[in-house]
């Protein structure tokens, strides 16, 4: 397998290649009939894997979990089961903890500037 350096986080905010790999394996098997344990070692290219992953449908294991994690409709959320709420809340909590350092620095700098102005001082540059 020659995938080079793979970004472990997907660009989709509702699944993670590492944490959800068992769901991905199950979904490839059910939708495409592909056993990743056999396909990956013999040379499936990263671009092919990525294209197939993006094409997974809502009736797969990953598709169902992604739908739960992504749901924002308040009416739909009212009818979520206890397990669906747990899945969604766990994902949202995990995502909230992954704030990028540069974003955090920018936010903290904004707070600092605001506090200095509130105290009547000018911000040093």
Answer yes or no: are the C-beta atoms of 63 and 69 closer than 8 Å. no
Numbers of helices and strands, H then E, in the chain: 7, 0
What is d(CA 77, CA 61) in angstroms, rounded to the nearest whole number? 20
pLDDT tens digits for 18-67? 889 999 999 999 999 999 888 776 778 888 888 999 999 999 999 999 99
Q: Compute the C-alpha angle 8/9/12, nearest 5°.
A: 140
**Which region, left, alpha or beta, applies to residue 43 given φ > 0 means left and ψ of -120 to 50 means alpha?**
left
Residue 117 has pLDDT above 70, yes or no: no
Answer yes or no: are the C-beta atoms of 66 and 19 closer than 8 Å. no
Query: Which value, to the nearest 10 degrees, does the dihedral of the CA atoms of residues 49, 54, 56, 62 take?
Result: 90
What residues are paired with 9 via a beta bridge? 16
Q: Is the pTM of this model over 0.95?
A: no
């Amino acid at each position: 397998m020659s995938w080079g350096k793979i970004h472990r986080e997907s660009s989709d905010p509702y699944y993670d290649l590492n944490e959800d790999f068992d769901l991905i394996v199950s979904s490839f098997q059910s939708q495409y009939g592909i056993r990743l344990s056999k396909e990956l070692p013999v040379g499936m290219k990263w671009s092919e894997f990525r294209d197939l992953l993006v094409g997974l449908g809502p009736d797969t294991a990953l598709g169902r979990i992604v739908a739960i994690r992504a749901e924002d409709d308040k009416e739909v959320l009212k009818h979520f089961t206890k397990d669906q709420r747990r899945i969604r809340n766990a994902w949202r909590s995990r995502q909230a903890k992954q704030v990028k350092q540069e974003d955090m620095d920018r936010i903290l700098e904004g707070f600092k500037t605001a506090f200095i102005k509130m105290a009547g001082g000018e911000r040093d540059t």
